[in-house]
Structure 1
Amino acid sequence: MTVRPITEDDIQALIDDRLEAARRVEVEAYLVRHPHLGRRVERMRGLGDALRDAFAPVAAEPVPARLTLAHLVEARRRPRLPAWQAAAAAVLLALGGIGGWGLRGTLSAPMTGVDALAQEASANYAVYAPDRLRPVELAASNSDELARWFSARLDRRVGVPDLSTSGYRLMGGRLVATPHGPAGLLMYDDPRGTRLVMLMRPMAQSGDAPMREHRTGSATGYAWAQDGLGYSLVGASDPAILHPLANEVRRTTATNT
């Protein structure tokens, strides 16, 4: 029996969950033999989940009445307009669309404050926590350099919390981009390999914001702000474990901001 070679289309179809059962078995076996591709699939799935979560509020919006099937069928039954009338209608429709899109921004405002920070932390957790190749840019041995790097880019003096007494060691960190500017990302893990991600960045408004829980898929997070700097700790751990850790981070960073 001739076995078809595994192609890029097969890998993408696996990520999109579009493979037949028999072909899925072949592709998954191929990924076991090529772990670097398996890691890539994990990253792509995590990024896809993060994007779906980020745009879920938009996807949940109702379909505009002018785009419903009944409206489109009715429009096709109407007599065609002369060319000059059709052109004029197109101009008016375009102007209305521009105005409507501008109004949409006022009716469906993007997330801000701690809610936006929580969403950004969850998205970065989904991308970097599963990465077994290069989850961080600077290792834990460079924690002093990490603190200097973050402080320079965030324009705030920040520290690197030590969670070793709670059973989590620092793996390292990296700078990441958010819609609200650069953010520092720190990653921790425990002896079983369970990873946590902490995101920190300046907030638009100075002052404090109380800690709040947020959930995305299987991950739980706690986000807060103190002295104008926002933090969010995210992981797949039990909230009974994660919440005390977040409180410990908040306690230790209070002296570093």
Structure 2
Amino acid sequence: MSRPISEDDLHAFVDGALSEGRRAEVEAYLEKNPEVADRFARFGTHRAALRAALGPIADEPVPPALTLHHLIASRRQSSWTGWRAAAAACLLLIAGGGGGWVLRGLDGGRAGGIDALAREASYAYAVFGPDGGRPVEISAADSDKLVRWVEQRLAQPVSLPDLSDSGYRLMGGRVVATQNGPAGLFMYDDAKGGRIAILMRPMVRRDANAPMAQHREGDVVGYAWADDGMGYSLVGGMAAADLLHPIADEARRQIRART
């Protein structure tokens, strides 16, 4: 008699880490428990999206200044104390495991600017854009409630552009976490189910005003800008790449007219 299916088994199933026999048992369990199957299917979608979005960053090489050879040479040429050498070794380990992502976070100037906003929007879209179960937390039917919630978390007034003339209707939105604080993510879709999103948050460190610029992270493309301390990025998949610039222009026009 096989042992009961546990949460560890389900997460290992999503990660593809089960033996063939145990995988078959988990598949049989999921067939009998559709709610559990739906929940872990979303986990699998999020995992794949994050891997696609963050994979190129994880593959970045360790900067030459942080290679073991360079650190040893620097130690011989300086009068570092033991704790400074230990700190350098820890930094080397972090850089090796993070593949450049941590080092980007250490750059205080870039961390809060328009480049960071663009990356945050791309990663949020990579997670929630493909989500077939719950792409938004509050639907467009409760848009007033959604706006109040986002404004409360951002401590800033929020304006939602109407993109219906561009073929996209508001689905709803949610609050997402970024390395620069909470942000509002608003999802739109077209008649064929294609989705785009707008992420907005206060610009906490720099680029309070920034011209619109194109950006791309993996298969997510977008246009980011900032006005009067609020940053915006309109993002979508490659299928919508040719449409995003005029839609972003229209979104910016409407937001500016209301603020």
TM-score, normalised by the number of residues in structure 1 = 0.71
For 1:59-208, list aligned pairs within 5 A. 59-62=59-62, 66=68, 92=82, 94-99=83-88, 109=107, 111-204=111-204, 205=206, 206-208=208-210
Give the aligned CA root-mean-square deviation in angstroms: 3.7
Counterpart of 1:227? 228
**Cα gap change, 1:5 to 1:148, in 2 (>3 Å):** closer
**Structure of greater Rg:** 1
Choose from 249, 252, 256 the match for 2:251. 249
- Aligned mates of 2:116, 2:105 — CA distance in 1: 17
Choose from 185, 197, 215 the match for 1:213. 215
Q: Give the counterpart letter for 1:16 in structure 2.
A: D
CA apart distance, 1:256: 2.8
Q: Which runs of 5+ in 2 are unaligned?
A: 73-80, 96-102
Counterpart of 2:11? 12
- Aligned mates of 1:65, 1:184 — CA distance in 2: 39
- Aligned mates of 1:124, 1:146 — CA distance in 2: 17
Whether the aligned pair in 2 keeps the contact of 1:212 and 1:224 (CA below 8 Å) is no
**Cα gap change, 1:151 to 1:33, in 2 (>3 Å):** same
TM-score, normalised by the number of residues in structure 2 = 0.70
- Aligned mates of 2:154, 2:31 — CA distance in 1: 40
**Cα gap change, 1:20 to 1:193, in 2 (>3 Å):** farther
- SS of the residue 2:257 aligns to: coil
How many residues are treated as equivalent by the alignment?
Answer: 232
Whether the aligned pair in 2 keeps the contact of 1:54 and 1:119 (CA below 8 Å) is no
Counterpart of 1:83? none
Counterpart of 1:43? 42
- Aligned mates of 1:106, 1:23 — CA distance in 2: 40
Counterpart of 2:98? none
Task: Provide Cα deviations, 1:58-105, integer angstroms capped at 9, x if missing partner.
Answer: 5423396549xxx9xxxxxxxxxxxxxxxxxxx92x541225657986
**Cα gap change, 1:180 to 1:96, in 2 (>3 Å):** same
Whether the aligned pair in 2 keeps the contact of 1:169 and 1:190 (CA below 8 Å) is yes
